[in-house]
Amino acid sequence: METIKGPTIQLFNFADAISISRRSPEKLFKILDLHDALMDLMPDIEVVFESKSSESIRVQTVEILSRLAEAARGILSEFENTAPGAFESASPWRDYSSSD
């Protein structure tokens, strides 16, 4: 277990850094991929770090998954809030509802 604890902590540090980095739409799919990869590893993490002394690793996994999910939600929310205004003036569609 001690052999893989170091690399696991490094993975968590990387995921944590990604979750708190500047949010941009370009990062959305990378964040979702990282979240999915950690979710896929969750059963293995629970087995490998099942002892009471390794509980902090399991807790940290859940916390990082939560932060990655929050980062993805934040990106989607920011995009949702900026996208409509960004496209209004550049709309290729003519408004035919008013009489000219």
Return the pLDDT at 25.
86
Q: What is the pLDDT of residues 61-89, one digit of tens each?
A: 999 999 999 999 999 988 877 766 655 55
Return the pLDDT at 36.
96
Residues 6+ apart with CB under 8 A from 75: 23, 24, 25, 27, 28, 31
Return the pLDDT at 90.
52
* pLDDT confidence bin for 94, thresholds 50/70/90: low
